[in-house]
């Protein structure tokens, strides 16, 4: 319970963002094609997620299943958005942690 007596919701995303996990996410992003990325529907084939960085660079991968699922477009859009969001979120977590007293930062 919190200080007002309300039940605290369990964290639906229990993964802790330790410094090791932040570094892992940062490494994944740094090895991927440059962003931003976009998601394009290719009809019944699914979606392509591709990099638009560089004058002539277009690289991508297919997202989809053997049969269309309503969430395929949302999955492709999330994948595309994550290319720029992950580095920004890692930087923001580190920035906010730098503002905390060292004894308040959870140890890995």
Count of domains observed in the chain: 1
* pLDDT per residue as tens digits for the range 19-28: 999 999 999 9
3-state secondary structure of 48: strand
45 falls within a domain? yes
108 falls within a domain? no
3-state secondary structure of 69: coil
Report field, pTM of the whole predicted structure over 0.75: no
Domain that holds residue 54: 19-96
Nearest-angstrom CA–CA distance, 31 and 38: 17
* pLDDT per residue as tens digits for the range 45-98: 778 888 877 544 445 566 655 566 777 788 888 988 999 999 999 999 999 999
25 falls within a domain? yes
Q: CA-based angle 32:36:39, to the nearest 5?
A: 95
């Amino acid at each position: 319970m919190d200080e007002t007596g309300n039940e605290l919701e369990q964290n639906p995303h229990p993964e802790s963002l330790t410094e090791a996990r932040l570094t892992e996410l940062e490494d994944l992003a740094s090895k991927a094609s440059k962003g931003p990325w976009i998601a394009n529907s290719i009809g019944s084939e699914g979606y392509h997620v591709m990099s638009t960085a560089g004058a002539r660079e277009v690289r991508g991968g297919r997202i989809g299943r053997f049969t269309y699922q309503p969430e395929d477009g949302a999955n492709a859009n999330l994948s595309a958005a994550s290319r720029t969001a992950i580095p920004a979120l890692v930087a923001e977590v580190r920035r906010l942690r730098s503002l905390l007293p060292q004894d308040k930062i959870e140890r890995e």
